[in-house]
Amino acid sequence: MHQTTDATTSAVGFDHVFKAFVSQGRRGEPVLALQDVAFEARAGEFVSLVGPSGCGKSTCLNLLAGLDTPSDGTVSHRGSPVRGVNTAVGYITQDDNLLPWRSLRGNVELSLEFRGVPRRERRERAQELIDLVGLGGFEEHYPHELSGGMRKRGGIIRTLVYDSDVVLMDEPFGPLDAQTRVILQAELLKLWHRARPTVLFVTHDLVEAIALSDRILVFTANPGRVKREYTVDIPRPRDPFHIHDAPGFAELYDALWDDIRAEIGQAAR
Amino acid sequence: MTLTEPAVRHTDRARAVLHRVATDERRHRQRQRALVWLGTAVLGIALLLFWQFGLGLLVNPRYVSDPATVLARIGELLAGGELLAHLSVTLGEAGAGFLIGVVAGLVSAVALTSSRRGYEVFEPFLVAFYSIPKIALAPLFILWFGLGTTPKIVMAALLVYFIVLVNTATGLRGVQPGLFRVCRVFGASRRDLLVKVTLPAAVPAVVASIRITFTRAIEGAVLSEFVASTQGLGYLVARASRAFDIATVFAGIVVIAAVVMVANGLLRALESRLLPWHGGRVHG
């Protein structure tokens, strides 16, 4: 299922993308969410999108997933523009969106069912990932019987199970407590190393962005645009539990925070 | 680095504590359950005693039978086979109306909600029909469909239809949008979304509405029988009241109540069997 993309081609491309939304109010005045967004992500690259709330980070992911269409410019995946719902990517939201009436196993197998993967293969592929994140023994549990961290693991592996070459993650660890977050960051890195998909990761947590990413894009406040990009040089494999001690962490953190603070000030005015 | 929680190992002391807590909890629950049973029994007996001795002081005692007589009358009616004949007629009408109403309600709800504008076009009419006290239509149904079972089935079906339709449509329209977005990117087709997301998400509302509507089906059948009929529990009660046969009136009412309660209990049991993923109980 993996597309053979050599390292020079971009897995994801945003070419001068604009997006305007028409609000549901009586006026119907359109609001600009993205303004001239341009960036690329190479195959296998882990890219984080950070910036103030409402700066259009999630919109970028929705455009790439084909759930929204750009008002202008082109969003491309593997070199061709996204048209319609893009089922070739993985999409992970802040809510785990597990189907409450399906067991953990049933949820992990769901996307494979939609894709017509035969039963036996579904079982095997789901089981591999369930075991990998330590959820063995909970296969027949319903989501309401699992802890928040377990549900989140389930939500992630059920997206990774179909081995898409690009995975979009929209603040996946947002609602979790601080300890579970770090544990899940470590698990995510483990899963990422397994198949090395391109990841676009939206977060508000700068430490998380540094711990996980190859590159961090800082977005401006309304309308959203790429303000600056940072390369994270911390060598892999990384340990999210001790990322604070990594060389260069403090400088990077301060630089990111300065950038974002300026934007928050902007948004507040 | 392993990331699973470490296996918990208990000391003997911890095991003893766990055992004691479990025993205490069990005992506590038994006591609570016994209290509830006791309270229920006391209240039930008090009500029967009031009926036997007290009700005659409030209304004309000639029109108040007593529990003993009513029980005896139920026995007589049962022995004569009359009761079962009426009961089977009413249950047949209610059952047929129920099935028709549920199926028609489900199908209409899926059809209506498959397009948002479609639902908006139909909605005011649905609300209007929903607002009619259906029993006002009973005399019309008798004129249209005669004295047989047809008008009763139509009435039962109509009562059921609207409740199932409105509840199912609400359930179908209330699915979390996030579920759709994720599943669409997973590659779900329109049919997949309907069968694997929309319908299961609506199941609690549907099941709850099905449970509460069985009562309404019996109500519809009995009320129609009241208006005009030659058989059924409603006929039994109506005929007895015209003859001032109060014991039979009460006997009929008790039997109707018992039937509805048994049906509700069965449907409730079925509901928790059908919805193991639903943490809480669905309330109708």
- Domain membership of residue B284 (yes or no) is no
- Kindly list the distances between the CA atom of residue A226 and the CA atoms of A59, A60, B62, in Å, as whole numbers in the listed order: 13, 11, 89
What residues in chain B have their Cβ under 8 A from chain A's Cβ atoms?
1-4, 176, 178-179, 181-189, 192, 196-197, 200-201, 203, 275-279
Is a pLDDT exceeding 50 seen at residue B106?
yes
What pLDDT sits at residue B18?
81
Which tokens sit at A79? 């070199």
| Angle subtended at Cα A176 by Cα A171 and Cα A181, rounded to the nearest 5 degrees | 80
Q: Which residue of A has its CA nearest to B189?
A: A114
Task: Tell me what the mean pLDDT of segment B161-181 comes to.
Answer: 86
Probe site for chain B from A1, A99, A132 (most B CB atoms < 10 A)? A99
Q: What are the pLDDT digits (tens) for A7-30?
A: 456 899 999 999 988 776 656 678
- Domain membership of residue B132 (yes or no) is yes
Q: Which residue of A has its CA nearest to B180?
A: A97
CB–CB of A134 and B178 under 8 A?
Answer: no
Q: What percent of chain B has pLDDT over 90?
A: 25
B145 and B211 part of one domain: yes
What pLDDT sits at residue A10?
85
Chain pair A-B, CB pairs under 8 angstroms? 76
Q: What is the mean pLDDT of chain B?
A: 85
CB–CB of A67 and B181 under 8 A?
Answer: yes
Is a pLDDT exceeding 50 seen at residue B140?
yes
B19 and B87 part of one domain: no
Which tokens sit at A164? 């898409």
- Domain membership of residue B282 (yes or no) is no
**Number of Cβ within a 10 Å radius of residue A185:** 23
**Which residues does chain B have within 8 Å of residue A65's beta carbon, measured at their own beta carbons?**
181, 185
- Domain membership of residue B249 (yes or no) is yes
- Domain membership of residue B243 (yes or no) is yes
**Which residues does chain A have within 8 Å of residue B179's beta carbon, measured at their own beta carbons?**
97, 99
What pLDDT sits at residue A8?
55
Element (H, E) at B22: helix B12-49
B-contacting residues in A 25-84 (Cβ below 8 Å) = 65-67
B76 and B166 part of one domain: yes
**Which residues does chain B have within 8 Å of residue A87's beta carbon, measured at their own beta carbons?**
184-187
Q: What are the pLDDT digits (tens) for B180-231?
A: 888 999 989 888 988 888 888 888 888 888 888 888 899 899 999 988 888 9
Is a pLDDT exceeding 60 seen at residue B283?
no
B140 and B19 part of one domain: no
What pLDDT sits at residue B58?
86
- Domain membership of residue B7 (yes or no) is no
Q: What are the pLDDT digits (tens) for A174-193?
A: 878 889 899 999 999 999 99
Q: With cut-offs at 50, 70 and 90, classify the pLDDT of residue B268.
A: confident
Element (H, E) at B55: helix B55-58
B46 and B131 part of one domain: no
Its domain, for residue B215, covers 64-274
List A14's β-bridge partners, or say none.
A39, A75
The CA distance from A88 to A90, in Å, is 7
B20 and B88 part of one domain: no
CATH topology for A10-88+164-268 is Rossmann fold (3.40.50)
B111 and B71 part of one domain: yes
Query: Residue A269: what residue type?
Result: R
Q: What are the pLDDT digits (tens) for B6-50?
A: 445 667 777 888 888 888 888 999 999 999 999 999 999 999 999
Q: What are the pLDDT digits (tens) for A197-252?
A: 999 999 999 999 999 999 999 999 878 899 999 999 999 899 999 999 999 999 99
B190 and B90 part of one domain: yes
B245 and B123 part of one domain: yes
Q: What percent of chain B has pLDDT over 70?
A: 93
CB–CB of A101 and B3 under 8 A?
Answer: no
B168, B138 Cβ separation under 8 angstroms: no
B160 and B236 part of one domain: yes
Provide the domain count of chain B: 2
**Of A226, A234, A191, which Cα lies nearest the Cα of A209?**
A234
Task: Tell me what the mean pLDDT of segment A130-154 comes to.
Answer: 92
What pLDDT sits at residue A46?
96
Q: Report the residue from A65, A101, A162 with minimal CB separation from B200.
A: A101
B84 and B184 part of one domain: yes
Which is more confidently placed, B165 or B62?
Answer: B165
B168 and B127 part of one domain: yes
What pLDDT sits at residue A2?
45
Helix, strand, coil percentages for chain A (3-state, nearest 5): 35, 25, 40
- Domain membership of residue B209 (yes or no) is yes
**What is the biggest distance separating any 2 CA atoms in chain A, rounded to whole angstroms?**
57
